[in-house]
Amino acid sequence: MMLKRGKKGLSPIIATVLLIVLVIIIALIIFLWARRFIGEAVVKNGASADQRCGEINLEASRTSNSLYLNNRGNVPIYGIEVRLKTSGRERVERVDDIKLAPGQSNVYEVEGMDSAQSVDVVPAILGETKSSKKEYTCNNIKIEVIEE
């Protein structure tokens, strides 16, 4: 004799829809999480900002707290990071008010430069993203400052 049991499980269609919704939610969470690590591409005059950094030709020299910069390349400099090395420690000073066009030179005051054993300059350029203009620091370029 067979006993009749009631069906109390999910139908296959509802189970499939729930699985698809679950996969979409997990994919969305992973996408939003990974988006923080992938930056927007910064472009300068139709080429990547990294490419334009390779075209920078910047000369730098110093006397006490004065930093003399001469832009001999064809890429405008928007800002710089001055890396001061003193007795094994490195301190980074940010100078944002630099607008150094190609062929232009200028003198800037950087505090604490007179006591530094070595000084490096890392230039920054102004690029464009899809939504706005953005500063791009050329970390692959370090310009050694010559002491005069």
Q: What is the pLDDT of residue 139?
A: 77
Q: What is the mean pLDDT of the chain?
A: 81
- CA–CA distances in Å: residue 71 to residues 4, 98, 141, 142: 89, 11, 14, 14
What is the C-alpha to C-alpha distance for residues 119 and 65, in angstroms, rounded to an integer? Answer: 11
Domain residue spans of the chain: 56-147
Q: What is the pLDDT of residue 24?
A: 97
pTM value is 0.63
If one compares 122 and 127, the residue with the highest pLDDT of the two is 122
CATH architecture of 56-147: Sandwich (2.60)
Q: What is the pLDDT of residue 6?
A: 62
pLDDT digits (tens, 9 = 90+) for 47-78: 677 777 888 888 888 888 788 899 988 888 88
Q: In this structure, are strands 133-137 and 143-144 parallel, antiparallel, or unpaired?
A: unpaired
- Average pLDDT estimate for 92-99: 81
